Structure 1
Amino acid sequence: MALIALAADKGSPGVTTTAVAISAVWPRRALLAEADPAGGDLVYRGVAAHGGPLDPNTGMLSVAATARRGLAAEQLWDHAQPMSGGLEVLVGLGTSEQSAGLTGLWPTLGHAFAGLAQSAHGPADVIADCGRVGADSVVVDMFPQASLVLLVARSEPENLARVRDRAGALSAKLHGAHRGAAQLGTPLIGVLLIADSGTGAKLAGQVNDMLVAAQCGARVVGVIAHDPAGAAQLNGRRRGRLDKSLLIRSARKVVGDLHQNYGAAWAQPGGPGAYR
């Protein structure tokens, strides 16, 4: 069906937590890929299905070695590990220095991630945690293969200004002449806000108006609840009913809205289509 890439412009808005939450409630089989060139976090805070730690050498690092000889989508499963709870993950690089091993391979990875949905040997959607992106971010070379690029942003004014500007820069890079047009380009660029549940809906409307006025080629697609307790539960650092947390409930709504609006189009060979 899709490659969904999550990224942020600056700071620590919670991209990894959001990616894990979305992957956990995704209605189809999902593979979470820690594709942040700066390195991943799950190997340090995640627990493998067998109860022990995740293997840092099986994931993006081992995928890089395979990809230099060509990478078929179904080969991704050879490098995935199941986490406690069943979510399958490609753990990220240990350090930013290891990203040199992926030089020139990001388009290959993008093709493999997007192609996994059509694999006859284990189809799945890929949710890619791409970390922070800037003008020179190599991971952006993967974005043309995505169905949706989600920019995660907190609600402070400076963060909203940055995500507006980053959305405009990405739209210009990915869409070219499409920027500012009524029919938004492909891949779709969405903004996912991290905000208090009580103010999220109003804020989403205001930020969406700002994006439309700026003609930056992006729209708000949902709000993830700012829920430190839920995030701690998701990371295994706190006990409780995770499925009842504001974090997971908001992630379910975001995922449900995404599939309602774009799921049918993603299922077609023609691509993700336009925003409704």
Structure 2
Amino acid sequence: MLIAFASAKGSPGVTTTVNALGAIWPSDVVVADFDPAGGDLALRHRDAEGEPLDPERGLLSLAAAARRGVAEANMAEHLQTADGGLDLLAGVVRPEQLTGIGSVWPAMATMLKTLPVDALVDCGRIVPGTPLLPVMNAADAVVFVVRPGIEYYAHLRERLRWLAEPLQIGKAGSIPVGIVLVTDSRDTAGPRDLDRLLQHDGHQVTVLGRIADDPKAAGALAGRWSRRIDRSLLVRSARELSDSVRTLAQAHTRIPSRS
């Protein structure tokens, strides 16, 4: 399965959500950092020896291989394993490094889609004209991460309107879209209220639940996994959320591809 995670405004917690889900995902998984503004995943992690991950090995090296043809690009050669065992495809450090990648986004999406493991992709902030539309079109589900607030909801609704046509939201066989709310662990009304708002606007999307706003655990995810993190509100909420995300994407994998 290929699942794309994105935001409609600012930095509401996409990277933390993808990181937390990747850490507890119940099957083999690759986490890919495709944030066009510059990725953080590789910066947050170290390898098993405590050394920084190589920013040149990941999206940049995979794109170079993809330009030579999908058949020649071996995904495993471009992955790095972070301390704790998470397999990462490091993103770009600076936005200008994306120059020249545009023509091979569809090929890289195909490579992720055909992996024998699940792929969780951090797409960062999505705006009209984003180069990541081929990745989102190849996904089995697109998940938006949002924080509570009128400004966040307004941008989310506008982004959903823009994506309605390219993703064919609401049509038979369309890519399902889910929403994750980053909020306090005690906020049980937030997801329900957001769902009512989106349904009232006619958006055919699924509010999947919440991910706990837990800054201490989010920071600790960049270090060695420990039982303390395992008991955190962030990880506990990620475990609950993972079932909903997988169910959303699995429903699409059982639908024949659109012609």
Q: Report the TM range for the smaller structure's normalisation.
A: over 0.9
Q: Does 1:153 align with 2:157?
A: no
Counterpart for residue 232 of structure 1: 219
Matched with 2:22 is 23
The corresponding residue for 1:245 is 232
The 10-residue stretch of structure 1 (203-212 or 184-193) with the greater mean CA deviation from structure 2: 184-193
State the identity %: 38
1:184–1:198 Cα change, 3 Å:
farther
Are 1:206 and 2:205 counterparts?
Answer: no
Secondary structure of 1:254 counterpart: helix
Consecutive unaligned residues in structure 1, runs of 5 or more: 117-122
* C-alpha contact 1:73 1:112 (8 A) present in aligned 2: no
Query: Residues 158-189 of structure 1, C-alpha deviation per residue, up to 9 Å, x if partnerless?
Result: 101211221221122210xxx5x5x6652111
Paired positions, count: 258
Instruction: Tell me if structure 2 keeps the 8 A contact 1:184–1:217.
Output: no
Q: In the alignment, is residue 270 of structure 1 matched against residue 256 of structure 2?
A: yes
Partner of 1:220: 207
Which residue in 1 is equivalent to 2:179?
191
Root-mean-square deviation (CA, aligned residues, Å) is: 2.2
Task: Give the Cα separation in 2 of the matches to 1:184 and 1:267.
Answer: 13
Asked whether the equivalents of residues 173 and 257 of structure 2 are also in contact (C-alpha less than 8 Å), the reply is no
Give the structure 1 partner of residue 165 of structure 2: 172
Give the AA of the match of 2:202: Q
Name the CA distance, whole Å, in 2 between partners of 1:225 and 1:170.
27
Matched residue SS, 2:35: coil
> Compared with structure 1, are the counterparts of its residues 73 and 17 closer, same or farther at alpha carbon in structure 2 (3 Å cutoff)?
farther
Unaligned stretches of 5+ residues in structure 2: none
Q: Deviations over 1:129-153 (max 9, x none)?
A: 0111100111122111100101110
Equivalent residue, structure 1, for 2:68: 69
Match status 1:141 vs 2:134: yes
**SS of alignment partner, residue 129 of structure 1:** strand
Shift of 1:237: 9.3
Q: Show CA shifts across 1:96-141 (max 9, x none).
A: 001013111111111111111xxxxxx2111000111100111122
Letter in 1 for 2:46: V
Match of 2:49? 50
Q: 2:250 & 2:218 partners in 1: Cα distance?
A: 31
CA–CA distance in structure 2, aligned partners of residues 185 and 8 of structure 1: 23
**How far apart are 1:84 and its partner, in Å?**
0.6
**Match of residue 6 from structure 2:** 7
| Cα pair distance change 1:31/1:74, threshold 3 Å | farther
Q: Which is bigger in relative contact order (C-alpha 8 A, separation at least 6)?
A: 2
Equivalent residue, structure 2, for 1:126:
119
CA distance in structure 1 between the partners assigned to 2:204 and 2:250 by the alignment: 22
Aligned-residue offset at 1:74: 7.3
Distance (Å, rounded) in 2 between the aligned partners of 1:16 and 1:87: 14
Distance 1:73 1:252 in 2: 36
Distance 1:14 1:236 in 2: 18
- Are the structure 2 counterparts of residues 75 and 129 from structure 1 closer, same or farther at C-alpha, using a change threshold of 3 Å? same
Worse overlay, 102-111 or 238-247: 238-247
